[in-house]
Amino acid sequence: MMTSVIGISTLLPSSRTSLQSPLLSLTDDDNNNNRLKNRRKPINIAMSLSSSSSKTLRKLEVVTPVPADIDIANSVEPFHISEIAKELNLSSNHYDLYGKYKAKVLLSVIEELESRENGYYVVVGGITPTPLGEGKSTTVVGLCQALGAYLDKKVVTCLRQPSQGPTFGIKGGAAGGGYSQVIPMDEFNLHLTGDIHAITAANNLLAAAIDTRIFHEASQSDKALLNRLCPLKKGKRSVADVMFKRLKKLGISKTNPDEFTPEEVTKFVRLDIDPETITWRRVMDVNDRFLRKITIGQGPDEKGMVRETGFDISVASEIMAVLALTTSLSDMRERLGNMVIGNSKAGNPITADDLGVGGALTVLMKDAINPTLMQTLEGTPVLVHAGPFANIAHGNSSIVADKIALKLVGPGGFVVTEAGFGADIGTEKFMNIKCRYSGLNPQCAVIVATIRALKMHGGGPEVVAGKPLDQAYTSENVALVEAGCVNLARHISNTRAYGVNVVVAVNMFSTDSEAELNAVKSAALAAGAFDAVVCTHHAHGGNGAVDLGIAVQKACENVTEPLKFLYPLDISIKEKIEAIARSYGASGVEYSEQAEKQIEMYTKQGFSSLPICMAKTQYSFSDIPSKKGAPSGFVLPIRDIRASIGAGFIYPLVGTMSTMPGLPTRPCFFDIDVDTTTGKVLGLS
């Protein structure tokens, strides 16, 4: 294992005499670096050093070729997390320590800083990616390192917690890469502070409660059920507090069970869940294709109560979406209790609170609601919260993390958050779902592009994870890049429609030519981007994204339009789905019989005013991953529709999209191990 790939020194403001001085150790044959040096614009030193600061930041002495991510991460001793908290003016009363390098920031910070003006709000999305990913998380981290360590801005990075599914599966971790990472990398990508485990436990507790209730209702009389639901204590019966909401919904004004009429007893004790309507599935944070469909209830004690169900990956749980979209502990309690798991045989929605489990779910989630404070390689602060997968889930970090961060950075500071996968799904959900519930208005949207992905969209050979890239991707082909820019242009057009300025970040690889990079910049500006910047943050850390940081600052300072949504909430479910489908390039939408049935039911139940969270492939604007570029005129098929009522959205499933990923032939776990001498993790990527 490499242990000396990075030289670390303390960079104090007094040592920043010029941001044009040689801060990097570069090799003469590094064409990547030479292009960066030739392209570098003069930086306004007065601007970058105008604010007084006592920051303790790291100066990275980078080497080439760039070492493995885990080797870079393991070579850096992180600052104690209390030092990072101190830079944000957080006292020890504002956070709980989770070891030396992580802390949970408490929601009380929002209330204490309520009167403080917010900083600038930036969302980072991407073009439609290859299966290899285009470095979006890396760009987020690199941009923040540039803003904090080189442009002397207050900045907080807001990222989603990685799922162990891709960490051990096909994509690897999500801590960024190269010299733009969140550290400790292994803790970030694995258990962190246990939020996903809490979601898994809460989700599966609710699943157990559903089947248990069906089991007991099938085998007991009304009287027996009442006796057990409202047990006799000291000669009196009482209704549990969690049941008061159910009594109100049933129109029962009495609170003494002994006063219920026989009809009221039946209404109260029998949820009468229709097993055919249950949409709540069990979850686990592992890619396991064989759990997509399972049969439960086959044990000898279950009295023949067999039904088909399945597993989703944990981050696709509605509880993860609740965590991402909640605004307070009381709001989370309400949302968890309102989650609908299915219908009664009379067609009425059954909630978690109807099952009596909403309070217990909140107890399991009470610590998870606090975002986790970490740091980048260059010592800038990071808040990690909520989960990934914008293709099958909400795919954005949490509202509470963003709100805390915006108050902490204050006026003139920057909060940069990531929206999963391409802007067609991640940024769309950020705008139409997250910003609706948060009331926050972003000033700038960054779209990350790579020459590799644009060549693929221009008609290049298939890109397959684990296989060497075709020569088309490693040699100059400007025509192929220009053809693929139709994908970038549609993402720019869609994102500009929200009223934000769009900056394109071209994540540069060493094989990219100057002509190819210029072609992307020209196409981006022609499509309406505010600016387009070539970045080398993977190879150079924050210094490789300084131009991007300057462009983002200018974009934030020059917003001229208010935030706009793609659709209003008071139109029908179908009209909202079709508005999103048109943004993909579809000419129409085709609904399965099941989807039609669900739309009718959710409309009847009063849920039609909710926003839409599409579950769609990330590899194409269409439902077919092989359709690259900017396809149009296709019909988008909606296979099924679910409702995440607690989270607050309707959840259409497009085409064959699965909510439980599978493992590839050679998963990432082949390379992951531990050095038994040092205890350090090896092989994470």
pTM, 2 dp:
0.88
Q: Which residue, of 512, 533, 557, is where some domain finishes?
A: 557
Return the structure tokens found at 27. 């090799």
Instruction: From 192, 184, 161, 155, select the one nearest 174 (Cα to Cα).
Output: 161
Both 345 and 422 in a single domain? no
In a domain, 619, yes or no: yes
Which residues share a beta bridge with 58?
Answer: 10
**Which of 342, 365, 388 finishes a domain?**
365
Q: Is residue 281 part of a domain?
A: yes
204 and 180 in a common domain: no
Total domains present in the chain: 3
Cα separation of 184 and 193, whole Å?
Answer: 12
For 253-293, what is each residue's pLDDT tens digit?
999 999 999 999 999 999 999 999 999 999 988 887 888 88
Pairing of strands 649-654, 635-644: antiparallel
Contact indicator for 314, 251 with CB cutoff of 8 Å: no
- The two tokens of residue 608 are 């039609």
| CA 1 – CA 12 distance, rounded (Å) | 30
Question: Looking at the structure, do residues 14 and 162 belong to the same domain, yes or no?
Answer: yes
Amino acid sitting at position 410: G
Q: What is the chain's alpha carbon radius of gyration, rounded to the nearest angstrom? A: 26
Shared-domain flag, residues 306 and 382 = no
Q: How far is it, in rounded angstroms, from Cα 673 to Cα 62? A: 26
Alpha helices in 313-376 (DSSP H): 318-325, 329-338, 358-365
Please check whether residue 601 lies inside any domain of the structure.
Answer: yes
**281 plus 361 within the same structural domain:** yes
Check whether residue 171 and residue 219 sit in a common domain. no
**11, β-bridge pairs:** 57
To the nearest 10 degrees (0 to 180), the angle between helices 514-526 and 478-496 is 30
Same domain, 350 and 380: no
| 352 and 480 share one domain | no
For 264, the domain range is 196-365
**Has residue 665 been placed in a domain?**
no
Percent of the residues in the chain that have a pLDDT greater than 70, as a whole number = 88
| 563 within a domain of the structure (yes/no) | no
Whether residues 337 and 484 fall in one domain:
no
| Residue 190: other Cβ atoms inside 10 A | 17
Angle (deg, nearest 10), helices 222-229 and 195-219: 140
Question: Cα–Cα distances in Å, from 514 out to 35, 58, 143, 518, 521?
Answer: 8, 31, 22, 6, 11
Q: Is residue 383 domain-resident?
A: yes
Residues 23, 142, single domain; the answer is yes
What are the tens digits of pLDDT across the range 434-461?
999 999 999 999 999 999 999 999 999 9
Q: Do 539 and 584 have their domain in common?
A: no
What is the secondary structure of 640-675 as a DSSP string?
EEEEETTTTEEEEEETT--SS----SS-GGGG-EE-
Q: Of 349, 365, 381, which residue sits at a domain end?
A: 365
Torsion of CA 468, 471, 474, 475, to 10 degrees: 170
User: Which of the four pLDDT bands, split at 50, 70 and 90, describes residue 14?
Assistant: very low
Amino acid at residue number 660:
M
DSSP states of 414-473: EEEEEB-SSTTTHHHHIIIIIHHHH----SEEEEEE-HHHHHHHTTPPPP-TTSPPPGGG
Residue 632 lies in a domain: yes
- 309 shares a domain with 205: yes
Name the phi and psi angles at 300, rounded to 5.
-65, -20
**Segment 529-562, tens digit of pLDDT:** 999 999 999 999 999 999 999 999 999 999 989 9
Amino acid 8: pLDDT: 32
CA dihedral sign, ordered 444, 445, 446, 447: negative
pLDDT tens-digit profile of 162-178? 877 666 666 666 678 99
Residue 25 lies in a domain: yes
- Residue 398: φ, ψ to 5°: -85, 155
Check residue 681 and give its pLDDT: 76
| Per-residue model confidence as pLDDT tens digits over 495-521 | 999 999 999 999 999 999 999 999 999
